[in-house]
Amino acid sequence: MTRHTTEVVSGGAGGVRHGNLPRTALTALAPSVWGTTYVVTTELLPEGHPLFAGFLRALPAGLIALALTRTLPRGAWWGKAAALGVLNIGLFLPLLFVAAERLPGGVAATLAAAQPLVVAVLAITVLHERLSPWRLLWGVTGVVGVGLVVIGPNATLDTVGVVAGLAGAVTMALGVTLTKRWGRPAGVGATTFAGWQLTAGGLFLLPLTFLVEGAPPAIDLPAALGYLWLGLVGGLITYALWFQGITSLPVASVAVLALLSPLVAAVLGAIVLDQTLGPIQLVGFALSLAAIVAGQLPPRTRTRARSRGRTRTPEHDSTSTSTSTSAPEGSPR
């Protein structure tokens, strides 16, 4: 009983405990690596083929994972894996690229940063969790922080781009929430699970890519290295870490880690592309990092409730001990 209670407290919906810190750090690597996508795309990949980049990011990595693990879905998991692959990858990537093409990068990143807010709402209906003002407060703080970091003074809005950006946030949030609800089949590892979804998403993108963009572009050595980075590191490895985190950590805590992606992109923009970060951007960084850290902590109400539950008077302890000792064998305790 003691061991089971410890596991529930350390991995429950309240937030990250010390035992989960390494797992949280590994999960955070995924959105951090995804933050390199902008620099890789603009500096290494051919222009005008965003869907092709998404396709190469998904399908080859998924097929490699299937070849290595040699495990296919069974029963209902054929449909579940296909649905998760389309939501997390197949739909999300095109919507992301449409928003990126029609909106300034900062606006697109800010819309994508709304994902933790959507997850907080979906957790109520899909996971049957209580509404957490703590999560909503820090979710809004994270969106504001990212906006301060990446939105310039001359940012303009496009209706189609805004709809695509919000739809992308909702699509991935739904995929994250359903991944948490369904979990993974028994005996299936994170690499296999990621391979299923990458393959499903890549197959979904295959006809869409060639219908919209036509023939693939010429690929030189820098482009090949860029696609290799996006596919193996930014695809297979990071999605395995991401799905492992979703299934083993509180879903709201994982969702807020996605704020790392635009922050890493901004840092790389300053280092590689000589973009500047002024005082407003630094304030946004502080707000975003505060939201990420706060998202890993338990809501205050739960902390207080647990503290009150664990604080017992000597009289109560004595009564509990006496009752436990005198209870007949086999009676509920």
Q: 108-111, long-range: CB within 8 Å, 24+ apart, which pairs?
A: 108/161, 108/165, 109/146, 109/150, 109/261, 109/262, 109/265, 110/143, 110/146, 110/147, 110/150, 110/151, 110/262, 111/162, 111/165, 111/166, 111/168, 111/169
pLDDT band at 20 (very low <50, low <70, confident <90, very high): confident
* pLDDT score recorded for residue 13: 45
Rounded to an integer, the average pLDDT of 242-253 is: 88
User: Is 60 in contact with 199 (CB distance < 8 Å)?
Assistant: no
Higher pLDDT, 314 or 271: 271
Residue corresponding to tokens 């901004």: 266
List the domain boundaries for the chain.
Answer: 17-298
Res 320 pLDDT > 50: no
pLDDT single digits (tens) 77-116? 999 999 999 999 999 888 877 777 676 666 667 777 778 8
Which pLDDT tens digit goes with each residue over 151-177? Answer: 766 656 677 878 888 888 899 899 999
* ∠ Cα 192 175 25 (to 5°): 65
**pLDDT score, position 265:** 81
| 114, 144 contact by CB (below 8 A) | no
Q: Is the pLDDT of residue 146 over 70?
A: yes
Provide the percentage of residues in the chain whose pLDDT is more than 70. 79
Q: What is the mean pLDDT of the chain?
A: 79
DSSP secondary-structure letter at 233?
Answer: I
Question: What average pLDDT does this structure show over 232-245?
Answer: 92
Q: Give pLDDT, residue 311.
A: 47
Counting other chains too, the contacts that 183-186 makes at CB distance below 8 Å and 24 or more residues apart are 183/247, 184/243, 184/247, 185/73, 185/74, 185/77
Does 198 or 35 have the greater pLDDT score? 198
Where is pLDDT greater, at 225 or 147?
Answer: 225
Give me the mean pLDDT over the 48-66 stretch: 91
pTM of the model: 0.77
* Backbone conformation region of residue 216, classed left if phi is above 0, alpha if psi is from -120 to 50, else beta: beta
Q: Please, which residues have CB within 8 angstroms of residue 120's CB and are 6 or more apart in sequence?
A: 131, 132, 135, 136, 139, 252, 255
Burial class of residue 290 (count of CB atoms within 10 Å of its CB; 0-12, 13-18, 19+): middle
Find tokens 């604080």 and name the residue.
311
**Residue at 235: amino acid letter:** G
d(CA 176, CA 246): 7
- pLDDT of residue 76 exceeding 70: yes
